[in-house]
A and B are shown apart, each in its own frame.
Chain A
């Protein structure tokens, strides 16, 4: 099949070799009668092979809807209304996830792209043992016997550093702690060796120590298996730990994508700059005389996805905004070859 060669002629928009997933102007709207919530309205982002792209943004910025769109798991009335989701299969072929048939999509879920969620406590079926659930997953995608599947399941538990895997295989989710369950979820997600793992706030529900362990584990697994990760979070501390690149989302759009160091060193979007200024820092926030300084919140609030402004969505809160910003939505501009920003005035930053 022509699809199996990386630069197939029948696909004029074939991805560059090192790109696993590229969302181009993705639009996911929730149409409720006459009202339309534009939760994702023009997301463009790129996940590179073997790298982690962190998607950050506040609640309602569209980061979870973006990941659900990629998995095509949107619930009614959400729908992808525009844009493309180009994905490179493991055999090298490129598909557009936005228009793929449900049947082919199902074969991609779990095998090509797997996803883990925020709630490890409730993401496992309480009625089946952990081993059963991992084996179900493996046998859905690969024609192997129960016995072989069990050996694989055991190996997966070892891989995610669960002690006494033989015993754990026969335990039910309620017999495990939150951290253990998130490890099981990771084992489940990686059981069929996916090329891309989407992690939707996988550490948010865990305490800080366990969070660090899970992040370590994900980093190690990425090194060993070579998978790409799309890591959705609102925690910039976690981003600094795990990401190679960062995409910052605001009101349904990616407003900035850059390598992690560039982004932290020199944000080229006023929203990112505002976010970074919000992070409390024990040293920095204490003045010379020992009194505490106030936090630096961004004034105003996120516009409703039901009524987005005509121009730049951030303009009403932006210290740099001028008339042009409020009428014309900014394109994704190159601040440097690897640094994209959706700000007309990024040169001032």
Chain B
């Protein structure tokens, strides 16, 4: 408390704030590592993910094949990190789509009374279906491909964001400063983006992190069930699906991609939790 140093009025640096929160720091570290592995897969992978070697089929993990080999003698480690590319891409793209659709619907529903009834009922109806079931139905309707998986997951998770955005919009819309902005002639779209959306950045960010995790999990589920991307393309889901038949002889074929899913989803959940704490001023301890 003594005035040894001049009182610092600077706000703490973002890096300090993140490092102060263990869960957030650990989650971010893992997700960054996984992303790097996936992105740099061509440089890191010891073998091509599709190189067949019938001689070396179903070999257990060793120094030659870190994660063993599969039924065609392909290196499971190389395939796992390559599969990360696709799994992360699907997760990110589905989240981006869900965010775009969800935020738009949520803002419209929160802002316009007449639209609210319709939009909210649609959201309720969509949320009544289990995620995977709705995604399967959508993929079946659109025909399986990478794009349709992304679209299906984006559509399935959009209502979650729409609900969060709508609820917060209803509150913020009535705040005195929004009314004051109206009284000074600020047009509605500008109030929506500048005054309302800006206030929603933290709940949206937190929710989007969770949706990222759900979408990755759902993609793996779809691929496992054979309704996702084509089985030749390595994703964690297709790898587990392929390994299922050999789970007695070569459990490494399922364990490692399964572990990759667990680690990614866990790290995203940690990030989501950490962000929620960081962005909620009531839970901040440094002030």
Give the B-binding residues of A (Cβ under 8 A). 71, 73, 76, 106-111, 114-117, 119, 122-127, 136-137, 140-141, 185, 188-189
Contact = CB atoms under 8 A, between A and B. Distances in A.
Given A76-B113, A136-B194, A123 B180 contact: yes
Nearest to A115: B183
B194 to A, nearest CB: 7
22 contacts: A107-B185, A109-B182, A109-B183, A109-B185, A110-B183, A110-B185, A115-B184, A117-B176, A122-B177, A123-B177, A125-B181, A125-B195, A127-B198, A127-B199, A136-B186, A137-B184, A137-B186, A140-B184, A140-B185, A140-B187, A140-B190, A141-B185
Given A117-B176, A123-B180, 13 more contacts: A108-B185, A109-B185, A110-B185, A110-B186, A114-B183, A114-B184, A116-B183, A117-B183, A119-B176, A125-B177, A127-B198, A137-B184, A140-B185
Interface in B179-217: 179-187, 190, 194-195, 198-199
Contacts of B185: 106-111, 137, 140-141
A127 B182 CA distance: 17
B183 A71 contact: yes
Contacts of B175: 122
Contacts of A141: 185
Contact of B182 (A73, A119, A185): A73
A31 to B, nearest CB: 14
Contacts of B186: 110, 136-137, 140
B138 to A, nearest CB: 36
| Chain A to chain B: the 9 pairs with minimum beta-carbon distance, closest first | A110-B185, A109-B185, A115-B183, A110-B184, A123-B180, A122-B176, A125-B177, A119-B176, A123-B176
Task: Classify the interface of chain B: helix, strand, loop or mixed.
Answer: helix
Given A122-B175, A127-B198, A106 B181 contact: no
Interface residues of B, number: 18
Task: Classify the interface of chain A: helix, strand, loop or mixed.
Answer: mixed
Counting chain B CB atoms within 10 Å of each CB, the highest count among A108, A111, A115 belongs to A115
A66 to B, nearest CB: 14
A182 to B, nearest CB: 12
A325 B78 CA distance: 94
Contact of A106 (B179, B180, B187): B187
A114 B182 CA distance: 10
A115 B176 CA distance: 12
Contacts of B183: 71, 73, 109-110, 114-117
A153 to B, nearest CB: 13
A329 B194 CA distance: 48
Nearest to B199: A127
B264 to A, nearest CB: 32
B23 to A, nearest CB: 26
A141 B187 CA distance: 11
Interface string B126-142: 00000000000000000
Contacts of B180: 115-117, 123-124, 185, 188
A115 B184 CA distance: 7
Contacts of B190: 140
B225 to A, nearest CB: 44
A316 to B, nearest CB: 34
Contacts of A124: 177, 180
Contacts of A115: 180, 183-184
A124 B199 CA distance: 13
Interface string B103-123: 000000000010000000000
Nearest to B201: A127
